[in-house]
Every structure is written in C-alpha cells, then in structure tokens.
C-alpha cells in the first residue's frame, strides 16, 4: 500500500453501497490514534480518525499526518484522516496543506446562505488536493452551550433540526462529499436517551445522495444507532466515549495510588479501554470485516 491515507469517499462509498456505517473516532495524541487503529485492524474494519479544534493544539496538523500515516502503514490498513468541526477556513487550508485527505467545515451555526457560500469555497479548495469535505446543515448543538436542550440533553427545537428540502439544496449546490445532519442528537454527555427523529432522517436520505453523518451519538441505545444506520447514516462520530474512558481511568489510577500514579501504567490501561470502545462501535455500526470493500479498490 503506497498511500495509507484515504478520503471519506473511499470509505463511505462502499458503506453506502452495502448499508453499514463507519465510526469516526477523535484522536488527541499518538496513543489514541494507535488504540483506534489497532482495534480497527483487529476487526478488519474501515476507520476514520479525526482531529478536532480542541485536539489540534496537542500535536499540530503536520505531526498528526505523520503519526497517523506511520501507524496506518504499520497496521497495513487504509485510514481516513479527517479534520473535524473546523469553523475556520484558514485552519482547513492548513490541514489540506499538511496532507489531510478529508476535512469538515462547520458553518452550521451561521445562516444557510453563508454556510453554502463558505462550504462551496472549501469544496473548491479541497478539490485541488483531491480531499473530501463534510459540512453540516441544521445544527447539532452542545447542550452545555444552549438553553434549548431538554432534560434528556436532546435538542429538538425546530430551528436546530435539519430541514430535508434545505439539505437537498445544500448538498446539490455545495458539492460536499458527506453531510452531517441534526435529527435530535447533541454533542457531549447526554444524561438520558433522547428520541431521534427517524422520519426526518428517512426523508433526508430519500432526497440527499451523499452519505449522511451523525454527530452526538454518545449514550444512544445501540438499537437506535442500528436503526439510523438502516435509515441511511453512514458515518458516526465518536469523541465523548473516548474522553470518558480516559477520565475514568485516570480517576481510578489516582484513587488507587492515593494521589499518585505512573502515567505509563495508566496509559497502557486507557489504551485497552479506548480499543474496547472502538470494538463496541464497530460491532454496532456493522463495519467489521468490511476492510476488503476499500482495499479491493485501492
Ligand atoms: Zn460534531
């Protein structure tokens, strides 16, 4: 394999054709990337490794490309490295220059016209390097940052949910490769089990040709997740579950060591937990043993 980093199109095209979804896991350092890829390789699953704005300062963009390509080569698996949730066109440009094969530009909190205009310019830019672009229409909010979340942490106000006609128009005029939509999920830890708008998803899938993306799936019942995959979700973002595993492991290590622990020992333990999170999502999304769908085309 010459080029270990692949685009969203290469990963989500087969998923769309075969009716499964691929997990997109947020890395923040080499250890997270390694745990994610080790689990995917073990399950023969395609995988998307993401770096978000919170994680970007940890290593920077060029180092991230180096780390992820090296690990992908070592595991002999193609990996889609994807910049998650960038709200900054200059950062997207820097990621493309650093060698990211895929990016998300998120202007979903802005008026639709502005979202279309900025997304379109990013798609044009990405085409020059052959990279793929995800954008979002409707707004998957952050419960802690809004007063509109209900008691379950779900955001269901009509202004946040994706309008199917608007999504169809958006995908058509921007030329995006994947579209994140809002059907009632929210980022971060949700205390309850919000109801998802399955009818809305089915309608969006009927109208929009590009693969659909679900953000904010943490805490969702696996059966609900399987149902949204059946209805057309092809990429599911996972970040909070990995952060939770880290926080829990460190808290336990601190408690067991009465205020002190060896970070190396704790990191070894947390890598096992991260891998367990990834295995669980791969199973739920049905992407295990699907690696051949991609490698047979490379
Ligand atoms: Zn998100």
Say what the pLDDT of residue 28 is.
Answer: 93
Question: How far, in Å, from the CA of 216 to the mean position of ligand 1?
Answer: 6
Say what the pLDDT of residue 148 is.
Answer: 44
Joined tokens for residue 267: 């990191």
Say what the pLDDT of residue 191 is.
Answer: 57
Please tell me the pTM assigned to this model.
Answer: 0.93
Say what the pLDDT of residue 220 is.
Answer: 87
Strand pairing class (132-137; 102-105):
parallel
Query: Which of 182, 187, 157, 168 lies closest to 52 in space, CA to CA?
Result: 187
Please say whether the beta carbons of 51 and 94 come within 8 A: no
pLDDT lower than 50: segments of the chain: 1-2, 145-156
Joined tokens for residue 39: 């689990």
Q: Which residue segments constitute the domains of the chain, with CATH numbers given?
A: 5-240+279-295 (3.20.20.70)
- State how far the Cα of 192 lies from the Cα of 189, in Å rounded to an integer: 9
Residue 148, Cβ density class (10 Å: 0-12 exposed, 13-18 middle, ≥19 buried): middle
Query: Which of 44, 37, 32, 50 lies closest to 235 in space, CA to CA?
Result: 50
Question: How far, in Å, from the CA of 56 to the mean position of ligand 1?
Answer: 15
**Of the residues 16, 34, 84, 177, which is catalytic?**
84
What number of CA atoms fall less than 13 Å from residue 156's CA on the CB side? 12
Question: How far, in Å, from the CA of 259 to the mean position of ligand 1?
Answer: 34
**Helix orientation angle between 222-230 and 263-285, rounded to the nearest 10 degrees:** 50
Question: How far, in Å, from the CA of 4 to the mean position of ligand 1?
Answer: 25
CA-to-CA separations, 69 to 12, 34, 99, 223, 278, in angstroms, rounded: 19, 11, 10, 34, 19
Question: How far, in Å, from the CA of 185 to the mean position of ligand 1?
Answer: 10
Question: How far, in Å, from the CA of 84 to the mean position of ligand 1?
Answer: 7
Question: How far, in Å, from the CA of 157 to the mean position of ligand 1?
Answer: 18
CA-to-CA separations, 163 to 42, 113, 133, 233, in angstroms, rounded: 39, 14, 20, 16
Joined tokens for residue 154: 């779900």
The secondary structure of the chain, three-state, reads: CCCCEECHHHHHHHHHHHCCCEEEEECCCHHHHHHHHHHHHHCCCCCEEEECCCCHHHHCHHHHHHHHHHHHHHHCCCEEEEEEEECCHHHHHHHHHHCCCEEEECCCCCCHHHHHHHHHHHHHHHHHHCCEEEEEECCCCCHHHCCCCCCCCCCCCCCCCCCHHHHHHHHHHHCCCEEEECCCCCCCCCCCCCCCCHHHHHHHHHHCCCCEEECCCCCCCHHHHHHHHHCCEEEEEECHHHHHHHHHHHHHHHHHCCCCCCHHHHHHHHHHHHHHHHHHHHHHHCCCCCHHHHHCCC
Place of tokens 């490698």: 295
**Is 84 a known active-site residue?**
yes
Question: How far, in Å, from the CA of 239 to the mean position of ligand 1?
Answer: 9
């Amino acid at each position: 394999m010459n080029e270990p980093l692949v685009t969203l199109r290469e990963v989500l095209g087969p998923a769309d054709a075969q009716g499964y979804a691929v997990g997109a896991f947020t890395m923040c350092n080499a250890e997270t990337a390694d745990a994610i890829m080790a689990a995917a390789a073990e399950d023969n699953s395609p995988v998307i490794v993401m770096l978000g704005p919170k994680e970007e300062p940890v290593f920077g963009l060029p180092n991230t490309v180096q780390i992820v390509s090296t690990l992908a080569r070592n595991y002999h698996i193609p990996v889609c490295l994807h910049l998650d949730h960038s709200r900054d066109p200059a950062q997207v440009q820097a990621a493309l220059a650093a060698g990211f094969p895929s990016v998300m530009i998120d202007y979903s909190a802005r008026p639709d016209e502005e979202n279309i205009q900025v997304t379109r310019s990013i798609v044009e830019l990405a085409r020059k390097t052959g990279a793929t672009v995800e954008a979002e229409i409707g707004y998957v909010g952050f419960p802690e940052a809004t007063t509109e979340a209900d008691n379950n942490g779900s955001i269901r106000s009509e202004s946040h949910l994706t309008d199917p006609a608007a999504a169809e128009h958006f995908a058509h005029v921007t030329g995006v490769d994947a579209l994140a939509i809002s059907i009632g999920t929210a980022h971060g830890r949700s205390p309850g089990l919000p109801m998802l708008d399955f009818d809305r998803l089915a309608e969006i899938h009927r109208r929009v040709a590009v693969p659909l993306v679900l953000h904010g799936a943490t805490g969702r019942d696996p059966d609900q997740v399987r149902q949204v995959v059946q209805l057309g979700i092809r990429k599911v973002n996972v970040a909070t579950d990995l952060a939770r595993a880290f926080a829990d492991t460190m808290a336990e290590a601190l408690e067991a060591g009465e205020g002190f622990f060896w970070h190396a020992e704790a990191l070894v333990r947390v890598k096992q937990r991260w891998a367990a999170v990834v295995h669980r999502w791969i199973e739920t999304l049905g992407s295990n043993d699907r690696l051949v769908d991609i490698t047979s085309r490379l």
